[in-house]
A and B are shown apart, each in its own frame.
Chain A
Amino acid sequence: MKLSFATANPQKLIVAIPWLWLALFFVMPFIFILKISVSEPQLAMPPYQDWIREFEDGLLTITLNFGNYLLLLEDDLYVSALLGSATIAGISTLLCLLIGYPMAYAIALAPSHWRMPLLMLIILPFWTSFLLRVYAWIGILKDNGLLNQLLMSIGLIDQPLQILHTPVAVYIGVVYSYLPFLVLPLYATLVRLDNTLLEAAADLGARPLRQFMTVTLPQSVPGMVAGSMLVFIPVMGEFVIPDLLGGPDTLMVGKLMWTEFFNNKDWPVASSLAAVLLMLLIIPFVFMRHFEQRTAEEEK
């Protein structure tokens, strides 16, 4: 055994580590999820029947139950939860882009000794627990919270605004929490952009706005795509923010999965929901990979 390790190509060993990691912590759990998703629920612990059963007569029986997947299609609840998640994730990604692009651009344009402190300010919130930060938003957004007190004290409103437990609160929480994931990759792209391209554009008669629209913006698409994926994908499965800040009408897949798993104890349905979500998320990921490869080819 020792001999084979010594003679093995060390490069292959290094590559094997992430593969092993993926197999152990992604593929294996996902196989379990898939397995649960095609089984029958039962009132026991665990709350599903194994679909490989050996009967007393020695016959091996495999019973696959695709009813859970059919249920997802038949019941509006699941489709609308998926659509709700996609809407919230999509709009949040757009909002993050609108807010994050100017931030990333400003940091990339700042004098180099200012960039690190500014990036630190972006990263700093990560030093506090995510849960605590979301709870803090409850304190800000609730009826007698900081925001309403401020607005009332300056006389802008005389009745507190109902923000908490509305979709607006979910958007605020999501954009706040995921903005750094968009700003950082976008900044990395923008800071590497070749300044002589802007000079060339200026030299050819382009005013600053046209320089930005025709050179900076198209050149930063890879960073925008990477950042958007980093926001869109986790927000699709987000559970904490809609649970804490959203209201009863906030329908998201993550929240629904929680309900199925822990309240309804219907593991098979929850698992099939998780499997469908993963499949749906792989599509944008494949799109991103394709895009990355194309830009990598262009940079050659």
Chain B
Amino acid sequence: MNQPRSLANQSWSAPEGEPVVRIEKVTKHFGEVYAVDDISIDIHRGEFFSLLGASGCGKTTLLRMLAGFETPSSGRIYIDGQDVTDVPPYKRPINMMFQSYALFPHMTVAQNIAYGLKNEPLNRQQRRERVVEMMALVQIEKLATRKPHQLSGGQRQRVALARALAKHPKILLLDEPLGALDKKLRERTQFELVNLQERLGITFIIVTHDQEEAMTMSSRIALMHDGRIEQVDSPRRMYEFPATRYAANFIGSVNMFEGHVVSHEQDMVTIASEETGSELIVHHSQPLTQGMPVTVAVRPEKLKLTEKGTNPANEITGTIQEIAYLGDVSIYHIDLPSGKRVQFTQSNIQALAELPLTWGQEITLTWSSHSCGVLSQ
């Protein structure tokens, strides 16, 4: 592989030692519906692992199987090398933070946090210390005697987190942990969660439908679709080198050009596409056969303005149809002669560009053969 490997998070794709969670060929069906379909993933110690996907993709079912609330129809789940497939939830070294938080409404904050400590080998004093420690960890010391109904959404989220961490689990499962918070609080909490995870060294497995959330927090993301895994990769690789059309589309925006392979020499693939009008050259190392139908994916921000006819390949010319000014960037929709619509974003470096792009203007764009990808499925 000749792709810029420095981008990849090596430690997680080929780590040493045994994975802390091994999901092996796990399938779960409810009647005829396959919620999770033959999934295998290894998750390593200290990872912040995201299960990302649209609703109904099976990510929550997979998480619930890890917690022990659902039993796989087939396949095995190992935690720390031990087969836990048939182990009930109350015997697993795993704790979960529920999407609804599931705080016990008749107990105070301190009682909620202490709930899981009853079965731990701790005396009364140690138990009390642990509760105080947990409340300090998420900064809710002052709320100890409150009941859940007296707390705000953000405070409840913290109590739920403290309760799930109190037993010092090997693995913390988080089901849409930030879903109920407003945008500002969500962004702040994302970083707090990452800091907490790094400090505690506990493996976090989080379910989310929010690609931005997954990108911000994760060491690796498993993108799920229809009960299957589309791709497991670091956020950066997931974005820069999506493996499938679905993955390319789900995370960020992308321009996709349909074409077929003309030639494949060493690391360079030449692709002819009727949509672009010019040949496309992509750095790609996986074997592709001549004439094979493929898709070339280019992110909108990878396009740059150029003079027409100055590039031997990867050049498109079209007319600006729409402009959206977002402040930090502007998004342009460009129609190519083939009728294909292309998205192009440009940072607004200067307050007023010397030569602003306007509607109906014809522009030519190009991109590097390193900053695009070939999708064959």
Q: Is the CB of B102 within 8 A of A207?
A: no
Q: Is the CB of B115 within 8 A of A201?
A: yes
Chain B residues with Cβ under 8 A from A42's Cβ?
A: none
Partner of A206, one of B68, B90, B95, B106: B90
8 A Cβ contacts from B106-165 to A: 106, 115-116, 118-120, 147, 149, 163-164
Known: A199-B89, A200-B98, A299-B149. A205 touches B118 (CB 8 A): yes
B-facing mask of A213-257, CB < 8 A → 1, else 0? 011001100000000000000000000000000000000000000
B-facing mask of A15-46, CB < 8 A → 1, else 0? 00000000000000000000000000000000
Q: Is the CB of A204 within 8 A of B149?
A: no
* Residue in A closest to B95 when the chains form the complex, CB atoms: A203
Chain A residues with Cβ under 8 A from B69's Cβ?
A: 199, 202
Is A297 an interface position by the 8 A CB rule? yes
* Residue in B closest to A297 when the chains form the complex, CB atoms: B149
Q: Give the Cβ gap from B164 to chain A, nearest Cβ, in Å.
A: 8
Q: Give the Cβ gap from A217 to chain B, nearest Cβ, in Å.
A: 10
Is B316 an interface position by the 8 A CB rule? no
Known: A196-B100, A298-B149. A219 touches B115 (CB 8 A): no
Known: A205-B119, A297-B149, A298-B149. A197 touches B104 (CB 8 A): yes
How long is the Cα–Cα vector from A195 to B339 in the complex, in angstroms? 53
8 A Cβ contacts from B45-101 to A: 67-69, 88-91, 94-96, 98, 100
Q: Give the Cβ gap from A194 to chain B, nearest Cβ, in Å.
A: 7
Q: Give the Cβ gap from A288 to chain B, nearest Cβ, in Å.
A: 18
Q: Is the CB of A205 within 8 A of B105?
A: no
Q: What size tier do the contact residues of chain B reach?
A: 20 to 34
A-facing mask of B170-183, CB < 8 A → 1, else 0? 00000000000000
Known: A205-B90, A205-B116. A298 touches B167 (CB 8 A): no
Chain A residues with Cβ under 8 A from B120's Cβ?
A: 205
Is A300 an interface position by the 8 A CB rule? yes
How long is the Cα–Cα vector from A280 to B167 in the complex, in angstroms? 50
Q: Give the Cβ gap from A73 to chain B, nearest Cβ, in Å.
A: 41
Q: Give the Cβ gap from A112 to chain B, nearest Cβ, in Å.
A: 15
Q: Is the CB of A194 within 8 A of B167?
A: no
How long is the Cα–Cα vector from A205 to B115 in the complex, in angstroms? 9
Partner of B89, one of A203, A215, A297: A203
| Count of chain A residues near B, Cβ 8 A | 21
Q: Is the CB of B115 within 8 A of A204?
A: yes
Partner of B90, one of A207, A218, A299: A207
* Residue in A closest to B94 when the chains form the complex, CB atoms: A203
Q: Is the CB of A298 within 8 A of B105?
A: yes
Chain B residues with Cβ under 8 A from A219's Cβ?
A: 105-106
Chain A residues with Cβ under 8 A from B102's Cβ?
A: 194, 196-197, 199-200
Q: Is the CB of A215 within 8 A of B90?
A: no
Q: Is the CB of B100 within 8 A of A298?
A: no
How long is the Cα–Cα vector from A21 to B209 in the complex, in angstroms? 55
How long is the Cα–Cα vector from A82 to B106 in the complex, in angstroms? 36
Q: Give the Cβ gap from B93 to chain A, nearest Cβ, in Å.
A: 10
Q: Is the CB of B98 within 8 A of A196?
A: yes
Known: A205-B119, A300-B149. A218 touches B96 (CB 8 A): no
* Residue in A closest to B116 when the chains form the complex, CB atoms: A204
Q: Is the CB of B89 within 8 A of A202?
A: yes
Q: Give the Cβ gap from B174 to chain A, nearest Cβ, in Å.
A: 12
Partner of A202, one of B90, B118, B164: B90
How long is the Cα–Cα vector from A215 to B90 in the complex, in angstroms? 15
How long is the Cα–Cα vector from A206 to B106 in the complex, in angstroms? 17
8 A Cβ contacts from A163-183 to B: none
Chain B residues with Cβ under 8 A from A214's Cβ?
A: 104, 115
How long is the Cα–Cα vector from A115 to B269 in the complex, in angstroms? 64
Chain B residues with Cβ under 8 A from A196's Cβ?
A: 98, 100, 102
How long is the Cα–Cα vector from A2 to B106 in the complex, in angstroms? 52
* Residue in B closest to A197 when the chains form the complex, CB atoms: B102
* Residue in A closest to B64 when the chains form the complex, CB atoms: A199
Chain B residues with Cβ under 8 A from A206's Cβ?
A: 90, 115, 118-119
Q: Give the Cβ gap from A206 to chain B, nearest Cβ, in Å.
A: 6
How long is the Cα–Cα vector from A197 to B164 in the complex, in angstroms? 13
Q: Give the Cβ gap from B153 to chain A, nearest Cβ, in Å.
A: 14
Known: A199-B102, A200-B98. A205 touches B167 (CB 8 A): yes
Q: Give the Cβ gap from B64 to chain A, nearest Cβ, in Å.
A: 9
* Residue in B closest to A215 when the chains form the complex, CB atoms: B104
Q: Is the CB of A218 within 8 A of B163?
A: no
Q: Give the Cβ gap from A109 to chain B, nearest Cβ, in Å.
A: 16
Chain B residues with Cβ under 8 A from A207's Cβ?
A: 90
Q: Is the CB of A218 within 8 A of B106?
A: yes
Chain A residues with Cβ under 8 A from B95's Cβ?
A: 203-204
How long is the Cα–Cα vector from A206 to B91 in the complex, in angstroms? 9
Chain A residues with Cβ under 8 A from B105's Cβ?
A: 219, 298-299
Chain B residues with Cβ under 8 A from A201's Cβ?
A: 104, 115
Known: A199-B69, A298-B147, A298-B149. A204 touches B106 (CB 8 A): no
How long is the Cα–Cα vector from A210 to B115 in the complex, in angstroms? 11
* Residue in B closest to A196 when the chains form the complex, CB atoms: B102
Known: A194-B100, A200-B104, A206-B115. 11 other contacts (CB 8 A): A200-B98, A201-B104, A201-B115, A202-B89, A203-B95, A203-B96, A206-B90, A207-B90, A214-B104, A298-B106, A300-B149
Q: What are 23 A-B pairs at a CB distance below 8 A?
A: A194-B100, A196-B98, A196-B100, A199-B89, A199-B98, A199-B102, A200-B102, A200-B104, A203-B67, A204-B90, A204-B115, A204-B116, A205-B90, A205-B116, A205-B120, A214-B115, A215-B104, A218-B106, A219-B105, A298-B105, A299-B105, A299-B149, A300-B149
Binding site for A on B (CB under 8 A): 67-69, 88-91, 94-96, 98, 100, 102-106, 115-116, 118-120, 147, 149, 163-164, 167
5 A-B pairs closest in CB distance: A204-B116, A200-B102, A202-B89, A205-B119, A196-B102
